[in-house]
Chain A
């Protein structure tokens, strides 16, 4: 049964992945169908089957799963749309809606519906039909004074990217004060970031984009998409239009600069670890870390067990490791807009209730946490990261369950906690064990605590180092043996996103290899066989890549 579930998850996961990487489907291949009562009627049927679960039967954005989604599903009755090619505050043209439906909105639950890219998608005709139906929800579309086709923004010839253009864009980023929201390092952590709210009366927090994370740009990450956002602004958000304050050329330069900020390459694979001379430093800036080969671990919301968490903040952690004859050290780096170093246990949500609800009701969307139920103000929960190993050596490809192990196979977690770091008493890392998601971590006895650590938050980024002896006498500890593929996984929490307990980001199992003098390819075949089976879990996490 477990296998079947996993299989289904993989199928869905890969489908979502394919869809999200799709960039085409923007421009219809066939002529647009006319907006007729028949088309609207056909669109209504499609809407009911495919859209209403999120957007609600009356288009108010209040479908049964809407409470679990952040950003919320669009309320079509308002006539307010973020992604347009029309001037600030105006309605979208049909082609804008077509683009959004075809592509989906990365960084949200809105999937792509282009049937050429995703099997469960809609044909072009069906997409037009549903667009015509969606437009009936708002009176604004009936107002001839507000005809959006007369409000298209002027688009000029693209200025190709060049070092000069990027340099001009960088200057404009300063001069136009983009950093006030998006941050000096464009991690979405500018001085305005904590106070930005939606203006729709719901007062939901709305975070400026972390520009390095192109996979979370809702309107697409190409230079044309970005240029268009400067023209149109994002209706309903604090992102204004800059047509009045930036010349057309300047908007292209700025778009070229933003593209240059995007993360270029995501390095996946085995965490190959070299031996170094001298001590393993706790200092995150020690040059020794620059010599280590990094890998990027993709993280997704923990949706395996209740409470399932669909709104994770940490979606990528860069990991490095080095070792010497005594110790091994890890460096973790990830973007986090706000430094959260307090933790109020009394504010924690009783997640047990979700697990109880799961057994009481059919396992459906009830097992997902509604984000409104978790306090998301700064100051309630800590930022934290944990690296997880199997507590006992495993044979072949066998591994504990990647969410906290299971009853027969316990895991050893090194849990770094920001509030311990802030207090500065003893190590900020707790060496813990757990064997199953129902249980909290149990820190080992004081003499068992052998993981040292240090964490520094700067400019919207955490850097955390953990160091431990290669081997310990403790039977609950991972023991590092050279030349072996040792599975590890990560858990991460962003406090001001309300994350604590099982509401967290997780990675699947990956491998670390402590290099010996033996060339790596000797181990390759062993790894390949492991990877084949282990790959299943990678997929499971990958399904979240686009969110």
Chain B
């Protein structure tokens, strides 16, 4: 009977209940959608960073990343690469040489990061070759070795495909080495600062300029079958690369990890605001419902309905309202989110700002089931807890006075 009365009480003031359910629905939809949007943004950034820039794991000589000394090289890179390639979870492995040259072009000079890659292997580890917007990916079209540069660098130095640039660096013997390269391709990623600083040449060309032997590399980049395996696979790779430093993409890019965490925090703050608004909405609605029914609640107390049942009745009303709004909100939120999982949200008007932080201007939403369960649970808990105050108010009524209320 408590259930029956609670259910019928909800529909006693239909408009008010519908408004409350709509508010919960909209609140929850907004929560689910924003969560999925932010998650999509983060996942796209992680995917972009691991797919285009970092790969899932990297091996270096300890201290190499701190000072980029070309002498801090992996001396048995060929054998190590072959061994790592045989591991189960590893999809592809690529060796890299890294230098920090001084770039000299006809219309300007500057610094940058030059990465020597084995093109065919690298294509399986990262996807820079898919981001070529002009020209080709490290293909010899002249006697001069090819270089692939980012769009931002091309703009800054006014470079086009076919333009020659000179790279000056210190080789392994400590001599200044100057070598000319021909721009074979220009790429564009979602990360404009990466595009402004990073260039790619053939492994052998950079090896020759630096005067290093064939078995030497500065970095071994590893792509796994699944990105979430990085922490699990790391020990097996470390066993093979005993003297070297094996790091996951999270360790290599702490700023991205921080960005992910801060996104999570913003998301929780947003959800907290939604829950607070929901909480006050429910308190207001249930308080009105209790005040309107003072006489009736007094009668229920008088005829023998105990406090536990009265408390349950009011909590149940709020819980049912919340669950109805919650189910609708989740249904609408999930539906809309699922649509945007395959139809990207176009944020091209903000692309400059977003790409400055490495975010794509087209975002696909991504909904995590556990996050959906958590927000559902939080909404229900909020609904129930918000009704505690109005329910306690009801319990404090004096039945003798309440039954005579006008």
Q: Are A and B bound to each other?
A: no
Binding site for A on B (CB under 8 A): none
